[in-house]
Structure 1
Amino acid sequence: MGVLVVTGGSRGIGAAICGLAATRGWDVVVNYSGDPAPAEEVAERVRSHGAQALAHRADVSDEQQVSGLFSAAAELGPLVGLVNNAGITGNTPGRLDEQSVETVRRVLDVNVTGVFLCCREAVRRLSTRYGGPGGAIVNVSSTASRNGSSGEWVHYAASKAAVNTLSLGLAREVADEGIRVNVVSPGLVETGLHAAAGMPDRLDRISAAVPLKRAGQPEEIAAAVLWMLSPEASFTVGAVLEVGGGR
């Protein structure tokens, strides 16, 4: 298939995307920003499926580090796909008027500027306008972009709404340059995000509001992302696919 860069690929949804991509024939660059051990574990899982893998540390909000990420990806071969999965909530749930400006700025830097920077680097490599082969970009959003996440992470929800709009505009810019841009928007998913934010009971508390009466699994989100990357989605451009159990 070619080389796929997955930001935030060391844990949760990102790790599931990397693992499933390997079974579909992708070589994978596992991006991470903190502890290298989980990223290396994911890379080993990718290799166990016979694919190439590289774990690369980069803060997606930093322009130079993003450039380095894509330069490192070239070591595996030509880039064909990008999944912008890296994202943070700020880990401080509460009302908007309780949030610090530092928290909000950091969330916007990672969740919005990070997507912009990675998309820009990918377009410069994939677009036929620059002599590239074409490819696919999938940006991971959240159903919070629609429901607002009031009382918890309004700033996070706003950042994900920005991802949706960025994706739609970019999709229309580059569709005739061989690049398909789409969004997968997960709902409540069983990852470590909730406990890290100091709400280990959040899954149990909110699951009752999901029509399926459960949280999703990272692998269910990964399946949607891999479909968006695949030739089966060849006529899908600028779409936002919600994978949220009906909530």
Structure 2
Amino acid sequence: MTKSSLAQQIAATLRRERTSRFLTQQALADLAGISQSALARIERGDRVPSIPLVERAFATLDLQLRVTVEQLDAHLDAQLDELAARPLADRLDDLPLDRVLERLGDLPHLLTGCTAALIQGVPVPVDGIDLAVRWRDSARFTAWLEAVYGQRWNERWGDYGGLRLEPEEPGEHRWRTRYGEIRAQMCDELPEAIEVKHRDRGYRVVPVGVLELTDPRTASLLQRWRSRAAG
């Protein structure tokens, strides 16, 4: 079943506002007078929730909903345009990339996904660091996640926590850490890589051409950006 874009936007906004106030789902649910399971359903974004329920959750955060209409995915187009107008160095400064890489040390890895595309000059939005990590380095990667206070994404809760960190455990390879969100592509061998240099630092990344063939999320954004650039 295709998820509703509206439900996902409500889910992402509520989750962002709740976590920015350092509230757990249970804490916000108690304040709003609703059940934690109801709040979890809203934050999962599986379906459009009850509007009164959503309004109650936002009101507890001293916020209210506003409804507007726009061209389909106009917010994404605006984001692509804004990123394209900014120097690459500024876009990289928005990410905790160097701190993550320094902390990873000699753990074998590559940058992949939207992170790799951004480093190669493509103005795509990046909301976390995308890594490729070998399965045989899983134990070291798990130790690293523990060191940076990682919490595993819990699809059932629509939130982080409540799951074991190890990539071998069932669930999406997505963690919240002290450096923001980390997403991992676990693989038997690291993909083909190239090195891209910025400010005297080299970044080993999966080439854009490979990403277009292997990463649907990144490929979709690349196609959208190219269509806008050509238009």
Q: TM-score range by the shorter chain?
A: under 0.3
State the TM-score, normalized to the length of structure 1: 0.21
TM, length-normalised to structure 2: 0.22
